[in-house]
Structure 1
Amino acid sequence: MSLPDFDTFRAAQAARGFDEVVARSWAPDEDVATHSHPFDADALVIAGEMWLTVDGVTRHLRPGDRFAIAAGTPHEERYGADGATYWVGRAEPG
């Protein structure tokens, strides 16, 4: 599997209208309780693993997997034994 570099990912996200692109890293075995964000998010997992639960459906995500979450969508996150890192584009809805 070949992942893009961060600059390539950022440029692609900007072209799609995402005005902020950041790298997020999470500690091993971290659980993030149900929450939501005021922005749309589109992300690419680049290291580790995570479980993302939306509407009662849990996805197991590994490097190369993508996920998108619309602003205001309640979700939970759980990170694996090695934690996880993903790059995410964020945009205000509308």
Structure 2
Amino acid sequence: MQQDEFVKKLAEQGFETPVVVEREPNGRLDHHAHPFEAKALILAGEITILSQSGEKTWRVGEVFHLQRDEPHSEFFGPEGVRYLSGRKSARP
């Protein structure tokens, strides 16, 4: 997916303005959850996410989607990862 198309879809789906996130080579974030829904477009490198639904790796041009409070772990590839991430907070 192209970056312009991704940003447009995020806006249409009610996500906040996306931000670029960069993570170090061969890094990891152990088991955690976010208090928001997240969608991210991989711009460089790769990320592997382990959740209840299994383990999957995303690479450049692919989009991962995590639900609010979804427990998961993140593993960053040998080149690290850079992605464009949009968040959507829960509505009261």
TM interval, short-chain normalised? 0.7 to 0.9
Give the residue type in structure 1 aligned to 2:24.
A
Distance 2:39 2:11 in 1: 11
1:63 aligned to 39, 60, 64, which one?
60
Q: How far does residue 22 in structure 1 lie from its aligned partner after superposition?
A: 0.9
- After TM superposition, what 4+ stretches of structure 1 lie above 4 angstroms from structure 2? none
What SS does structure 2 have at the residue aligned with 1:32? strand
Which residue does 1:92 correspond to in 2?
A: 89
Q: How far does residue 56 in structure 1 lie from its aligned partner after superposition?
A: 5.6
Unpaired segments of 5 or more residues in structure 1?
A: none
Q: TM-score, normalised by structure 1?
A: 0.86
RMSD: 1.6
Unpaired segments of 5 or more residues in structure 2?
A: none
Equivalenced residue count is 91
Percentage of matched positions with identical amino acids: 31
Give the residue type in structure 2 aligned to 1:81.
P
Q: TM-score, normalised by structure 2?
A: 0.88
What SS does structure 2 have at the residue aligned with 1:89? strand
Which residue does 1:19 correspond to in 2?
A: 16
Which residue does 1:83 correspond to in 2?
A: 80
Which residue does 2:2 correspond to in 1?
A: 4
What SS does structure 2 have at the residue aligned with 1:71? coil
Distance 1:57 1:14 in 2: 28
What SS does structure 2 have at the residue aligned with 1:73? coil
